[in-house]
Amino acid sequence: MTLYILCFILFCVGLYGVLRKRNLVKIIIGLGIIEYSMNLFFVLLGYRLQGRAPIDAQHQDILNMVDPLPQAVVLTSIVIGLGITALVISIAIRIYEKYGTFDITKIRRLKG
Amino acid sequence: MANIVPFFTIIPLFTAFAISLLGRIFKNAFIHTLSIVSQFILLVLSLLSSVLLHRFVDGKILVYKIGGWIPPFGICMVLDGLSSFMLVTVNLLAFFVAIYSLNYMNKYTDKPKFFTLFFLMLTGMNGVIVTGDLFNLYVFLEIASIAGYALVAFGTEAEELEASFKYAVMGSVASAFIFIGIAFLYGFVSTLNMADMARILGTKTNQWVLPFVSALFFMGFGLKAALVPFHAWLPDAHPSAPASISAMLSGVLIKALGIYALARILFNIFGILPVYSKILMFLGALSMLVAVVLALSQWDLKRLLAYHSISQIGYIALGIGLGTPLGILGGLYHLFNHSIFKSLLFLNSGAIDYAINSRDLKDMSGLRERMPITYHTNLIASMSIAGIPPFNGFFSKLIIIIACIQSGYITYAIAAVVGSLLTLASFMKVQKFAFLGELKEKYRDAKEVPLAMQLSMVVLSIICITGGLLLLPSLRYFLDNAVNVLLDGSNYANRVLETALK
């Protein structure tokens, strides 16, 4: 249970970064933290105490197997997170070229 | 027969990579031919699948098992009435947008990159529509979203980058909510297959996790669909994209990623409960009114259209949320109609932008003389969106309003009528300022847009006029099959699993 609470705190830290920080780079770091926390949460769902990797070796009885599906899913999700981070960072760099600042309170040419 | 299902994602994916690899080497003619041909094949395939599904398939459902694995273990792709309805909508629109882009994208520099991203977005949308696996849906949703973020920033001007950053951050947070929702659901039912999920949820008596998960999904998919409390990104993002992409984003992306995915999950997996449909209807009615009021005061043409997208999405959510056969019919029919006339309006705004390089309504005047085709198609689209009788928007709005009254929601019916009147007012403003009045001296030599752009605008306006024919008994099956899937509720599970085991 402690692990889940820590995971939730991590999520809140990320959300705080996205919502409250003014620097574009810090917002992107916040997004990264949200992604870590959600991946961690999904892996935790498949974990069991004293579990071992679900690798089927010959002449071995596997008793406590962790659920392999969340691990496969999280692997995909990490790649997606990488794609988003790369795209957002490149947009932030172009924004810096145009506006000369990373401060979102100064980047507001769009109304509303 | 089921083998045609994966081609809806294979063809655009292949085209995207072929263009990105070969686009540098060959001339533009090659890119044009390749994109139009593959888009045409997609269109024919989706129309064909719709007809075949109705005529020749028992139970009107096709299941393709990827790698031959039986559903709970492997990923499956499902083509039923609702999927084929959405596929026809998406691919019909994408075909005309692709034709339009051939000329329009001359304004921008890098055509190969544009078409690569365009087809990646299409892959994502088609994938979301045909997939039968919840995590796979998330993956395709992210493919479409990431391509969308990149396309919004395509012009790389200051405003476009700003809008794209805003969209990307909010979209990623929404995706995170969806992912956490999927994680909770997986923890509860231990499967990711949508049909199997629905089956297991049906056997559980204590569904304590559902309210929490559905709140997460409402936030996540609601943001993708731009329902009102979550709409802040849309009026920035949609006007900033190139006009052809605005048409795709407003026309089909918010519906495939938002409304379709939400409806599929709420109706077919959770089995619609009155609470969810009340929330959906409330959000719909709220979006309908708030966005149309905000739209009235806009002077940027594309921004005005973007606010109307939110408002029209409200009608769709209201119709689907009603949950009665007539309500769902109205919602889905409006979804189809809105994708046609809203994208036509965005293409018109792109044509004006192409000809006079301005999007400000105060700045343009009297363009009727110089751009007759744009004027007439815009008139048709404006009347459709405002719900003037012979055009398609009228029928779908009428059905939604009748369905509201039939189920006793008089307030929502009145809200729908008021929203429609305000829509009419704001489109009269567009007509008055953009097309009627004196022609300004500096636009004396404005020219009508090139042939490919004209062609796609004219054909879309013809669909606007003839859209009402879809209600004829011989063509009704197109809508009815989609409605039946949603009405079927959790019975979706049995149909998919039975078909897959055959």
Query: Which amino acid, B61?
Result: I
Say yes or no for a CB contact (<8 Å) between B172 and A70.
Answer: no
Q: What is the pLDDT of residues B96-112, one digit of tens each?
A: 999 999 988 888 888 89
Which residues of chain B neighbour A24 with C-beta distances below 8 Å?
165
- Are B403 and B440 in contact by the 8 Å Cβ rule? The answer is no
CB-based contacts of B485, cutoff 8 Å, min separation 6:
B80, B81, B82, B268, B492
- Are B399 and B330 in contact by the 8 Å Cβ rule? The answer is yes
Which residue do the tokens 């969340």 mark? A70
Say how far apart CA B133 and CA B143 lie, in whole Å. 15
Which residues of chain B neighbour A77 with C-beta distances below 8 Å?
138, 179
DSSP assignment of B83-122: HHHHHHHHHHHHHHHHHHHHHHGGGSS-HHHHHHHHHHHH
What number is the average pLDDT over the span B70-98? 91
Helix (DSSP H) and strand (DSSP E) numbers for chain B: 21, 2
- Are B305 and B292 in contact by the 8 Å Cβ rule? The answer is no
Q: What's CA B66's distance to the chain center, in Å?
A: 26
Q: Using CB atoms, pick whichever of B158, B159, B180 lies closest to residue A38.
A: B180
Specify if B96 maps to a domain.
no
Ramachandran angles phi, psi of B63, nearest 5°: -125, 125
Nearest residue of A to residue B157, measured between CA atoms: A98
Say how far apart CA B307 and CA B39 lie, in whole Å. 29
Using DSSP's 3-state secondary structure scheme, residue B78 falls into strand
Say how far apart CA B386 and CA B473 lie, in whole Å. 25
Say yes or no for a CB contact (<8 Å) between A18 and B173.
Answer: yes
Scanning B407-490, the segments in alpha helix (DSSP H) are: 410-430, 451-466, 477-488
Q: What is the pLDDT of residue B225?
A: 92
Interface of A with B in 46-65 (CB under 8 A): none
Say how far apart CA B50 and CA B440 lie, in whole Å. 48
What tokens were used for B33? Answer: 């031919």
- Are A69 and B182 in contact by the 8 Å Cβ rule? The answer is no
B363 exposure class (CB count in 10 Å sphere: 0-12, 13-18, 19+): middle
Q: What is the pLDDT of residues A64-85, one digit of tens each?
A: 788 888 989 999 999 999 999 9
What number is the average pLDDT over the span B430-435? 86
Least confident of A7-21, B31-45, B483-497: B483-497
Which residue of A38, A75, A78, A102 to mutate against B (max B Cβ within 10 Å)?
Answer: A38
Q: What's CA B61's distance to the chain center, in Å?
A: 22
Say yes or no for a CB contact (<8 Å) between B168 and A76.
Answer: no
- Any idea of the CA torsion for A86, A91, A97, A103, to the nearest 10 degrees? -100
Using DSSP's 3-state secondary structure scheme, residue B432 falls into helix
Which residue do the tokens 């009435």 mark? B81
What tokens were used for B138? Answer: 């998330």
Say how far apart CA B65 and CA B235 lie, in whole Å. 40
What tokens were used for B356? Answer: 């006079």
When divided into structural domains, chain B yields a total of: 1
B281, B88, B290: which is closest to A112 by C-alpha? B290
Q: What is the pLDDT of residue A60?
A: 73
Which residue of A11, A44, A82, A84 to mutate against B (max B Cβ within 10 Å)?
Answer: A84
Is B165 at the interface with chain A, CB within 8 A? Answer: yes
Residue A112 has pLDDT above 70, yes or no: no
Q: Using CB atoms, pick whichever of B142, B162, B236 lies closest to residue A80.
A: B142
Residue percentage of chain B with pLDDT more than 70? 100
Confidence of residue A111 (pLDDT cuts 50, 70, 90): low
Which residue do the tokens 């655009």 mark? B12
Confidence of residue B304 (pLDDT cuts 50, 70, 90): very high
- Are B140 and B496 in contact by the 8 Å Cβ rule? The answer is no
Region class of B421: left (phi > 0), else alpha (psi between -120 and 50), else beta? alpha
Which residues of chain A neighbour B139 with C-beta distances below 8 Å?
76, 80
- Are B266 and B201 in contact by the 8 Å Cβ rule? The answer is no
B430, B375, B114: which is closest to B242 by C-alpha? B114
Nearest residue of B to residue A34, measured between CA atoms: B176
B477, B420, B373: which is closest to B57 by C-alpha? B477
Q: What is the pLDDT of residues B179-208, one digit of tens each?
A: 999 999 999 998 999 999 999 998 888 888
Total residues belonging to chain A: 112
Ramachandran angles phi, psi of B326, nearest 5°: -70, -40
Q: What is the pLDDT of residues B130-183, one digit of tens each?
A: 999 999 999 999 999 999 999 999 988 888 999 999 999 999 999 999 999 999
Is B296 at the interface with chain A, CB within 8 A? Answer: no
B413, B433, B422: which is closest to B292 by C-alpha? B422
Is A31 at the interface with chain B, CB within 8 A? Answer: yes
- The domain containing residue B387 runs over which residues? 275-471
Interface of B with A in 212-251 (CB under 8 A): 235-236, 240
Specify if B397 maps to a domain.
yes
Specify if B17 maps to a domain.
no
What tokens were used for B434? Answer: 């953009």
Helix (DSSP H) and strand (DSSP E) numbers for chain A: 3, 0
Confidence of residue B123 (pLDDT cuts 50, 70, 90): very high
Fold of A2-48+65-99: Helix Hairpins (1.10.287)
How many beta carbons lie within 10 A of that of residue B469, not counting itself?
Answer: 12
Say yes or no for a CB contact (<8 Å) between A87 and B187.
Answer: no
Domain spans, chain A: 2-48+65-99
Element holding B79 (H helix, E strand): strand B76-80
Confidence of residue B410 (pLDDT cuts 50, 70, 90): very high
Residue B69 has pLDDT above 60, yes or no: yes
Say how far apart CA B77 and CA B500 lie, in whole Å. 10
What number is the average pLDDT over the span B381-393? 89
Ramachandran angles phi, psi of B41, nearest 5°: -60, -40
Element holding B430 (H helix, E strand): helix B410-430
Say how far apart CA A80 and CA B121 lie, in whole Å. 15
CB half-sphere exposure, B487, CA atoms < 13 A: 15
Per-chain mean pLDDT for chain A: 88
At CB < 8 A and 24+ separation, what contacts does B201-205 make? B201/B269, B201/B270, B201/B271, B201/B490, B202/B271, B202/B490, B202/B493
Say yes or no for a CB contact (<8 Å) between B183 and A77.
Answer: no
Which residue do the tokens 């008793």 mark? A63
Say how far apart CA B480 and CA B262 lie, in whole Å. 19
Which residues of chain B neighbour A45 with C-beta distances below 8 Å?
183, 186-187
Element holding B240 (H helix, E strand): helix B234-240
How many beta carbons lie within 10 A of that of residue B453, not counting itself?
Answer: 26
B157 exposure class (CB count in 10 Å sphere: 0-12, 13-18, 19+): middle
